[in-house]
Every structure is written in structure tokens, then in C-alpha cells.
Structure 1
Amino acid sequence: MHRIQLDNREFEGANAVYLLGADEDGPTTLVDTATAQPTVQRELADGLAAAGVGLADVDQVLLTHFHGDHAGGAGAVQQAGDAVVRVHDADAPLVERDASALAEFEDRQTTLFDEWGMPERAAGELRDRLAADALWSDPAASVEPFGDGDRFAVGTGEIEVWHLPGHTVGQCGFVLDDGDERALFSGDALLPKYTPNVGGADIRDEDALQHYLDALVRIVEGGFDVAYPGHRQPIEEPADRARHILAHHRERTGRVVDVLAEHGPADAWTVSAHLFGDLAGIHILHGPGEAYAHLEHLQDAGLVAVDGGEYALREERPALDPLFPALD
């Protein structure tokens, strides 16, 4: 396995993509591609060359999710050598840049920005940023969708798809167990430094936080020796990292409750401002999206009521422990 670090100063640090099977018979496989930006694609070509592989030698690309910093270069890799590009069926239309899927996504964004209480100035800045980010994915790839539990040959071994939604609806990890090491290629489901955004990173998911909590529990119980994330360095204790993120979301939900208790009913934008302060760039999306995911989690549990986009506590200090898994 070859880990290739690629430039990314916009999100969670340098992207990591993984080359599997280059030294073996069987499919030469790339897990994620990073963006389509020319400098990044040159870095990818150089990283592959260092492993004795050219872009045209890649037989298949396994994408963890649709975001441009993971899937944006898939079309270029495919064009170089006709590689098969695979992604979860929920994210496939966005990787293919399907016009109706993109239009539906943008309509949903507009609806939620209004529902969250996002000021028009901030919404305009965000739309400009998202339009620029669309250039990170070019050209579009033709994909073959997969689902949870599907298996694919990788070199002389086999890799299994694990659906780990929350960050996106189709976020997946890939499990590779060679007998010596049980590894999870985790994409953005598990990161070593930051906690993956939920709520803003994929506005299609109406229960993003619960889905992500379930994914974290699955990782804890997965028995992994190591996780290879989509950014930065490998994670040597994946279960411990997943537990830490679970505790983080429990603490953040408590902070959301504190905001509502102290300031009264509020929309997602206002709660986000209390949690994160002033926002710029992509955080204009991620901040209120994260607040929204936690507010909806509280609403689904019957602990808050919503009226006209504003959330209010049903009781002064609701019990939060039942909303989160108890793990050893």
C-alpha cells in the first residue's frame, strides 16, 4: 500500500489517497483522487510514478464520497486509462454531475439557508464559494455504484465496502484485512485532527447526526488495527478516536442546549453564532449546518420544539444521555 499526500489548504489538511495492488497481480486500485486542480493532479501523477505506476495503469478508483477534495480528480484518472470508478449509489449522481441531482441539491440548499436564518450577505458569499469549489471536479466521471457489503478485488486481495453515513449520505469506508492488519480506509468518516462536519457537508441528510453516531459505533466495534483517513496521517487507535468524536458530539449537544437555555428560542444561524462566532468561507455552510444537525437531533428526541425555524427547549434541562450510545 502506498499513501500519497496531496495539497489541500481548504479543509481538514492535506488529502491522503491510497494506491493498492500496484506490486501485485490483480486490479491496481486508487482510493480517492483528491481535487481536479492541475497542481494537485500533477502531485498525484508524481506520487503514482514514485510507486512505479502511471495514471493509465489504474484499473479502478474507489471513492469514499462525492466531495470534490476526494472525488474531483476521478474523471481525469478515468480518462487517462479507462479506470472503473466506483462510489456509493447515494453519492453517484453527484460524482457524475447529473443535472437533475445537482439542481435538486441546490434547491435544497436554498431552502435550508432560509430555514436556518442565514443572512443574504452570508448566503451570497457562500454561493460564490460553492460555485468556485465546483471547479474542483472536472471532468465528470462515469461511475458504477456500490452498496454496503459489496466486495472488490484489490491486487491479490479483496476489499469490503462499509457504509458510514453522516458526513455525506453515501460516505463509505473500505475494509482490508490481510491477516496481519485489519485496516479501514475511512475517508472523512474518521479523521485524526478535526471532527468531520455533519449537517452542512451534505444537506440531503435529514438525520445526519444520528447516522453519524451509528457509523462511529460501527467503527468502534469493527476491531480495526489502523484507519487510513482521507486527510493527514494514519490513525493508530481507530476505536479510541471514534469514542472521542462521540464524546465531542455529546458535549456539543450540551452546548446547544446551553445556548437555548440562556438566550431563548433561536434558529440554526443564531445558535451557530453562539457556538462558533463569525464565519467565513466554507464555514458559513458548516457552522449552521452542524448546529442544525444537533437541533434536529434534539427535536427528533422530543426535547425541543420548532416554530418558524426557531428552536425552543421543551424543558429547562433535558436529559441528553439517552441520545448517545454508551460505549465501554
Structure 2
Amino acid sequence: MKITKITLPTPFKVGDVNVYLLEGDSLTLIDTGPKTEETWRTLREALKKHRRRLKDLDQIFLTHHHMDHVGLVNEILEEKEIPVYAHEAGIPYLTKEKGFMEEREGFFVSLYRKHGVPEEMLKQAREILRYLDQFTAPIHGVIPVKEGDRLPGEKHFEILHTPGHAPDHLSLYDRTHLIMIAGDHLIKHISSNAFVEPVYGTVERPRSLLVYREALKKVMSLPIRLLYSGHGEEVTHVRELIEERLRKQEARAEAILNAMKKAKTAFLISKEIFPNLYLKELSLTMSEVLGHMDLLWEKEEIDMREEGGIFSFYPKEEGISLNT
């Protein structure tokens, strides 16, 4: 078995993305990079450098549906028709099913509105969603895989469902060699954001940070010698890094609790916590605030009430009761 990291450019703030060639009984490409000419050219050149061609690939495995990881699937399939594997929760995103795409936009508009985002910013949020959609195209025929399955053709790699960063996020774990290919589940130089994203068919807002923390703890319980990430360098001290991430989440929750003493809506809190970022990265900042408020709610440190269709939050000591 051989794992080859290929680093590809993206037009996004996160920077380069790592995709991986897994060479065993099959030749698997794990993730593809976004749909841009530069990324497509770089991928082909990298394969050539490693004495491989697109036609050598046997299958594609997608860690999650985000555009910097799946954008070039169709270009590859035009070169060679091969299976594409992903988690079932990601398929509506990958196919861009019309009903789901409409539901997704409505989900964000409703979510942001009831958490105090001004109407003029809702238009901007819609425009950003549509801008990002250009970096992927509908992907059909995806084969769903789930927790506990084995990667086809690679008996050593077990599929783990590691949601939080995305609801469909998958990782690959080799119990024999203690290796994990973890996508964006864990990144050495930055914290993965637990994005609040809709899950098709449910009106419930996912508690993404709480889900992410449980997935981190699951990975922390595994013996891992080397972890390959979707961005940046490999991780060798997995347990220590996860412990640090969990501590920082607790500290962020405390900062949000303090901000709540003068800013009551999630949007106003995001302005307090991220004064230089909230205008440019609304989905990121709102996900951060809502996720950490879920953590505070779970710890019974805050209360909430609805006022004129907008939710306000209060530290518990202020004595406001939940109005359901």
C-alpha cells in the first residue's frame, strides 16, 4: 500500500487542498479539488509526475461534499467511467437536486433571519451561495457508503463517519498500520469549522459543533500513528491535537457567554467576536456562534426567548426562562 499526497490550488481563503492517491489492490483518488482550470491542470501534471494517468484510476472516494474537495469529479469521469463513493447525506449536495438546493437556500435565509441578520445581508448570503456553486457541477451515480464499510478494493481501510465539519464527512482508518485519511475532520494548523448545514428531509437545525465534538472524541479513542489531512501537514500527535481543539472550543464558548451580556442575538454576538470577519464570512461566523451557543445550552449556562420572530440569548444568571 502506498499513499501519495497531491497538493492542489484553490481560489478560497483556506488555501491549497490535499487529495490523495491510494495505491493498493485498486488505485483510488481521495477527493479531487475544486472545479477550476488551474486545479485541473495541476492535478493532471501531478499524476504525470508520479507516472500515473487519469485512466489508471479505479475509483474516487469523497470525504465530504464541500466544493474544494469534489469539483473535478465530472472532468475525471469524462476521461474514465469509474465508481464514485460518498456518504448518503452528501448525495443531495453532490447531485444538486433541485428541491434540495431550493430547500438549502430557504434554510439559510430562515436561519439567519431569526437570529438577527439584517435583511440587506440576506441578499449577500444568497449571492455567496450561488457564487460557490460554480466550483462544482452535478455529480450523478454516486454510490453511498457508511460507517463500518470497507473501502472497495482496499481491505485495510475501514470507513468511519466523522460528521461535524460537514454532515456527510467520512474518514478512512487502517487499523493494521494505524493510519487515518481524515479529510477536513482534523487539520494541524487551523481548527476545522463545524458548519451549520441542512440535512435533506429534516427541518431541524443540526447541532454541528456538538456532533463534531463527539466525532473528535471517537477519533481520539483510536490508536493513530499518522493522520493525513485535507489541508496542510500530516498530524502525528492526534490525541494531543484533539484535546487542544476541545479546550479551545470551551474557551470560545466562554468568550461568547461574556459577549452575550451586551449582545443578545447570534448575529450581534458574531459582530462582537469576529469584528473583522462577520461581513465577509457570514456562514463561518454564524456557524461558530450558533455551535458554541449549543455547547453553552447543553451545559445549561444560557437561556433563550423569542421576541418578534428573533431569538435572543441570555446568561443563566440573568434569570430569563426559556419561552418555547
TM-score of the pair, normalised by structure 2: 0.89
In 2, are the aligned partners of 1:76 and 1:138 still within 8 Å (CA)? no
Secondary structure, in 3 states, of the residue corresponding to 1:91? helix
* Residue 227 of structure 1: aligned partner: 227
* Residue 88 of structure 2: aligned partner: 89
CA distance in 1, matches of 2:226, 2:41: 28
* Residue 310 of structure 1: aligned partner: 312
One-letter amino acid matched to 1:210: L
In 1, are the aligned partners of 2:86 and 2:142 still within 8 Å (CA)? yes
**Map of 1:18-97 to 2, 5 A cutoff?**
18-21=20-23, 24=24, 26-97=25-96
In 2, are the aligned partners of 1:226 and 1:236 still within 8 Å (CA)? yes
In 2, are the aligned partners of 1:20 and 1:154 still within 8 Å (CA)? no
In 2, are the aligned partners of 1:116 and 1:292 still within 8 Å (CA)? no
**Map of 1:93-172 to 2, 5 A cutoff?**
93-154=92-153, 157-172=155-170
In 2, are the aligned partners of 1:29 and 1:60 still within 8 Å (CA)? yes
In 1, are the aligned partners of 2:94 and 2:138 still within 8 Å (CA)? no
* Residue 284 of structure 1: aligned partner: 282
**Which runs of no fewer than 5 residues in structure 1 stay unpaired?**
318-328
Secondary structure, in 3 states, of the residue corresponding to 1:34? coil
Task: From the superposition, tell whether residues 282 and 63 of structure 1 become closer, same or farther in structure 2 (CA, over 3 Å).
Answer: farther
* Residue 188 of structure 1: aligned partner: 184
* Residue 4 of structure 2: aligned partner: 2
Q: Cα deviations across residues 5-33 of structure 1 (Å, max 9, x unaligned)?
A: 00124142210000011xx5x32101111
Q: Cα deviations across residues 172-196 of structure 1 (Å, max 9, x unaligned)?
A: 111124x4x3111111110111111
Secondary structure, in 3 states, of the residue corresponding to 2:206? coil
In 1, are the aligned partners of 2:278 and 2:285 still within 8 Å (CA)? no
User: Structure with the greater relative contact order (CA < 8 A, sep ≥ 6): 1 or 2?
Assistant: 1
Report % sequence identity: 23
Instruction: Tell me by how many angstroms 1:98 deviates.
Output: 1.5
In 1, are the aligned partners of 2:213 and 2:246 still within 8 Å (CA)? yes
State the aligned residue count.
308
One-letter amino acid matched to 1:7: P
Which stretch has the larger CA shift, 242-251 or 290-299? 290-299
In 1, are the aligned partners of 2:95 and 2:138 still within 8 Å (CA)? no
CA distance in 1, matches of 2:247, 2:278: 27
One-letter amino acid matched to 2:86: V
CA distance in 1, matches of 2:188, 2:14: 9
Task: From the superposition, tell whether residues 249 and 280 of structure 1 become closer, same or farther in structure 2 (CA, over 3 Å).
Answer: closer
**Which runs of no fewer than 5 residues in structure 2 stay unpaired?**
200-204, 320-324
* Residue 320 of structure 1: aligned partner: none
Instruction: Tell me by how many angstroms 1:304 deviates.
Output: 1.8
CA distance in 1, matches of 2:50, 2:298: 49
TM-score of the pair, normalised by structure 1: 0.88
Instruction: Tell me by how many angstroms 1:315 deviates.
Output: 2.2
One-letter amino acid matched to 2:166: T
In 1, are the aligned partners of 2:270 and 2:278 still within 8 Å (CA)? no
One-letter amino acid matched to 1:240: E
CA distance in 2, matches of 1:6, 1:154: 25
In 1, are the aligned partners of 2:164 and 2:212 still within 8 Å (CA)? yes
Secondary structure, in 3 states, of the residue corresponding to 1:189? coil
Instruction: Tell me by how many angstroms 1:130 deviates.
Output: 1.9
CA distance in 2, matches of 1:50, 1:281: 41
Which stretch has the larger CA shift, 250-259 or 55-64? 55-64
